[in-house]
Each structure stands twice: as C-alpha cells, then as structure tokens.
Structure 1
Amino acid sequence: MNRVCIVCEGATEVEFVKGCLAPHLMDHGVSACPFILRAPSGGHRGGRVSVEGLLFSDVEQFQYVLDGWDAGVRQRLIAIRAQFPTPEDINNSRETAPSRRILAALPDGGYNKTEHGPVIAEAIGLATIRRHCPQFDAWVARLEAWGNG
C-alpha cells in the first residue's frame, strides 16, 4: 500500500478527501491523508481547484442544503455553471470563487462550506465529478496508478 499526503486548502477539502477520495483510493491500494498547508501568516493557501467548484458537477445535489434550497437557488446555480466549460473553470478569481458564488446564490446562512460541501460531494459521487472535471479526473487517475503499479 502506497501512502500519499494530499495538501488541502481548508477544512472542506479535508472532509472531501476523508469522505470521498480516500475510500476510493484505498480500493486502488493508495492510503490518502489530508493535510492543510498554512501560509507563513498562519492563514490557508488557496488551491487551484476548490471542492466548491467540483460541486457544480451536479447542481441538483444542492437540494441537501435544506435550509435554502428552492427553484430560485436552483436556477442561479444552473446559470453559474452554464457560464463555464467545466466546473473547474469556475475558480477564476478570489472575488468570484465558487464558495462565494454559492453563498450568493443561497439565502444568508443557508450554506455552510464544511457542513454542506462534503455532503453534496458525496451525493454527487466521485464518478460524476470526474466525468465533468477533466483536470481532477487526471489527477485522481495518477493517484490510482501509484497504487496499481
């Protein structure tokens, strides 16, 4: 069994690795351990692809955010997704990061990154995320190959 440390942006990504990615990689002979990398200032360093961006692989699964889900939220999330070739492309600036877009689409207090993000990701499933996110898919395939080799 090969072990790999996955550098995460924050707690949401850690939970995503623990709940979605690590169990999948274990089936391929890879033990994945999430780790948060802190900047010299003590804050988190942003990543290239955020978990929130991956959630746009299937906006219907936002229904698990029960406190804020309705037809208007659904339409706003669909409109955001429609602006980009892939969910990975949504992460184009700090001001328009996927998490900020999600927070703007839902009513105040309706979305909690660390609570809802991993639940939505699990509902979407790794196969769907990989199908819609080619860079993420290629990265996961490389991790799988480490265990299959």
Structure 2
Amino acid sequence: MTRLLMLVEGQSEEIFVNQTLAPHLAAHGVYAEPILLWTKRLPAGGGYRGGTSNWGQIRRNLLPLTRDSSAWVTTLLDFYGLPEDVPGYVEAMSPGNPHDRATQLETRMALEIGHQRFIPFVALHEFEALVFCNAQVLAHHFDRADLKEKVEQIVKMAGGPELINHGKETHPKARLQSLASEYKETSDGPTLIDKIGIPVIRAACPHFAAWLERLEALGKET
C-alpha cells in the first residue's frame, strides 16, 4: 500500500481525512495520514497546531515530510486566508478562472518545495465549500427545510460550490455560520461532508476531483 502524508490546516480537515477521505483512498491502495500543521513549537516540547500565517511556516512543516523516502506528500489548505507570501499567491489573486489560478498556485508551490513526490492542493475557496455540495443533506442535518433553497441559490449564483467566493463576509464558512448560527466547524463540517459522500463531492467540485484522482492513482505506483 502506498503511504501518503497529508499536511492539513486545521482540526476539521484532520477529522475529514480520518473519517471520510482515508477510508476512500484505502480502497485504492493508498494509506493517508493527516498531519496537523504546527504553528508554533515550544522549546520545552509541544506547541500549537492549526492555521497558517506565512509561507515559511508551511514550508517548515512540509520539508520534514518530504524526507520520508517511502511516502508521498500532499496538502489540504484553504485558498481563502492563504498567506500572501505563498509562492504564486499574487498571480493567483488576479482575474481569471479560479480553477486555473488555483492550479497555477499549486504548481508554484511544487516548484518551491522541489520534491518529486509532493502533490500540493489548495481547496477552492475553502474546505467548507464541500458542505455546499448537497443542500438537502444540509437542510436535513439542521432540521431546517428552508436551508435547502437558500443553499441551492448560493451555489447557483456562484456557479458551483468551489466558486463560492472568498470575501470576508461571503467565503463558505462565513455563509454557513450566517445560514445556521448553530453550525460548529469541527463537528458539523466533517459530519456533513461524510453524509454527502465522496462521489457527490467529486461530481460537484472539479478541482477537488482532479486532486482526488491523482491521489487514487498513487495506489498503482510501484
């Protein structure tokens, strides 16, 4: 089985990998292990995890993973809130197709790390966009029939879950919290995504689908 080390931005992503993505990839011969990003290490040991503040921090977390010669490495980071000093960020914020811009950003990250087993991934525009892939599941989860139409309208106006923009008040997580004040990031998010399921998500999110296809193919690597 192919080993895959996945640097994730927060606890929600870590739970998603353990609960939903890892079992899916295991069926393709890929063993995925989430690694929660360190934000600060203390001299006495331990420290703080979750979130990103600069490219140096991300790079310091990635480089030790690339030294594992028997594993592939990937990331699960949000496009929204990504540090401005990440290679390719300025170009990625210019007008154009968001999917193309995210792919260009990932290409720059790969060049900066320079590791042949590194597959960077930046979620458009935020991990929580995956929750918008099935309005019915969201409405049923919160026992709110009115949410179905509201969520469907948001997705329709944006052009797809991954295209829900990254404005301060309109990025996916902000919209979820506005729609359902009871929404809890680390419990409701991963639970909803697991209920929606990988097949529905990959059909609705082409950028995620392309990444997933690459990860699945690792199981065929010799």
- Normalised TM-score (structure 1): 0.86
Q: Where is the strand percentage greater, Structure 1 or Structure 2? A: 2
* Deviation of the 1:4 alpha carbon: 0.9
1:133 pairs with 2:205: yes
Name the structure where helix makes up a greater proportion of residues. 1
Can you give the 5+ residue segments of structure 1 that lack an aligned partner in the other structure?
Answer: none
How many positions carry a matched residue from both structures?
145
Aligned residues of 1:25 and 1:31 also touching (Cα < 8 A): yes
- Displacement of 1:3: 1.0
Q: 1:72 aligns with which of 130, 146, 149?
A: 146
> Which moved further from structure 2: 39-48 or 126-135?
39-48
Offset from partner CA, 1:84-117 (integer Å, 9 cap, x none): 22211114234422111000011x3x11111111
Unpaired segments of 5 or more residues in structure 2?
A: 42-47, 53-76, 80-122
Larger relative contact order (Cα-Cα within 8 Å, sequence gap ≥ 6): 1
SS at match of 1:33: strand
Contact 1:36/1:44 (8 A) holds in 2: no
Number of the residue aligned with 1:4: 4
Counterpart of 1:84, as a letter, is: A
- TM-score for both structures, normalised by structure 2: 0.60
| Equivalent position of 2:196 in the other structure | 124
1:33-81 residue CA offsets vs partner (Å, 9 max, x unmatched): 1122244696602523233101111111113533xx3233333222211
Q: C-alpha root-mean-square deviation of aligned residues, in Å? A: 2.0
Deviation at 1:136, TM superposition (A): 0.5
- Identity rate of aligned residues, in percent? 34
